Amino acid sequence: MTMSKWYIGEGDHNDIVISTRIRLARNLADYPFPSRLDNKSKIEVNEKVRDALEGK
């Protein structure tokens, strides 16, 4: 697979910036923040977040 070299910054449109950003907000009322979770709760939170992201 050959990638194009758009990232080199040469050519007619070298002043265009490509940017992306992802933001996740925490809304888990029944769980403390990660630094205070026990191992069982960490697994539960991981499963809840994974299921939400997968649309389950």
In this prediction, what percent of the chain has a pLDDT beyond 90? 27
Whether pLDDT at 47 is above 80: yes
pLDDT recorded at residue 1: 63
**In the chain, how many domains are there?**
1
**Is the confidence at residue 42, as pLDDT, over 90?**
yes
Residue 40 lies in a domain: yes
Task: Give the distance, in angstroms, between the CA of residue 39 and the centroid of all CA atoms in the same chain.
Answer: 22
Instruction: Please indicate, yes or no, if residue 56 is contained in any of the structural domains.
Output: yes
**Per-residue tokens: 11:** 């050519």
DSSP 43: H
pLDDT digits (tens, 9 = 90+) for 1-20: 666 676 777 777 777 777 88
Among candidate residues 45, 46, 13, the one with its CA nearest the CA of residue 30: 45
The whole domain housing 46 covers: 31-56
